[in-house]
Amino acid sequence: MELNVILTQSFEKWLKTLDYAPSTVYASVSYVENFFFYLKSLEIETLQAIHPETISRYYKYLQTRTNKRQSGSLSNNYITSNINAIKRFSRYLQQTEKPFFEVSIKTNPDKETSKTILTPKEIKTLYKACENSVLGIRDRAILSVYYGCGLRRSEGVNLDLKDVLLKEKLVFVRTGKGYKDRYVPLSEAVKDDLENYIYQSRKHIQSFKPIKSEAFFLSMQVKRMCGNALIERVHKLAATAGIQKETGLHTLRHSIASHLLQSGMTLEEVSQFLGHSSLESTQIYTHIANAEL
């Protein structure tokens, strides 16, 4: 396979699918493009021609390259970031079943390279950690939207009350750039959680002010909850449940994707559920699911 723009675009999409921070996505793609430029100087034009020795040579090249922005050599952090980006790229190639190469160079641990997956048992402990109170009922709805429906962070934040169609057992997901609107089916348990929140917790919070809000998730100030506020609630539940893993909104989405594949759902069905534009994006979770099994 040739080293081209399409490959880097696909890598960028893979990173976004795994919910890497925008800054990490941008930097990773940039570092890989620099790596490609270096390979071109060696007249290496295919993935099959990249070997561990090639990576070692590139690592030494970075250590001796001058800093273009200021005097001196490249910083250790910059070099480490480069190598970590190539490691991500190698993992992307492997998980999307493309020709890949090994990166054996040891650098400072990259905390973002591993994606946390909770076990079904751990998900149950999160639900059990929800109290039978206004906030507890809302917490349960948060879990049901991000785990039960597998929504992305922004999709849950932008969810409006009118988007939750209880009679039809559907949630209408209005997505942003690069994704299409879709309907997500509700299981009976998820429907019950959202219904309880709407008619008990949310109704109570809405009574604090006369102005009606369209937002589905309301703060105690009767405003749309932001992503950080939602994450804080999940962190609180994880702490109460005694879960040691780093747990966030993206963790819930990754977990449901893995669990659905483990339960026997087809790749096409999970792809549609997650709102992926291609099966290649969903294939990532087949490797995660197999690893968990």
Q: What positions carry a catalytic annotation?
A: 152, 177, 250, 253, 276, 285
Could you tell me which of 211, 245, 249 has the C-alpha nearest to residue 227? Answer: 249
Cβ(193)–Cβ(141) below 8 Å:
yes
Ramachandran bin of 227, using left for φ above 0, alpha for ψ from -120 to 50, beta for the remaining angles: alpha
Range 53-57, long-range pairs (CB < 8 A, 24+ positions)? 54/101, 55/83, 55/86, 55/101, 55/102, 55/103, 55/104, 55/105, 56/105
Tokens of 203: 């109704």
DSSP state, residue 165? E
> CA 168: distance to chain centroid?
28
Tell me how crowded residue 43 is: count the other CB atoms within 10 A of its CB: 7
User: Which residues pair with residue 164 across a beta bridge?
Assistant: 171
Distance CA 58, CA 82 (A): 10
Cβ(199)–Cβ(212) below 8 Å:
no
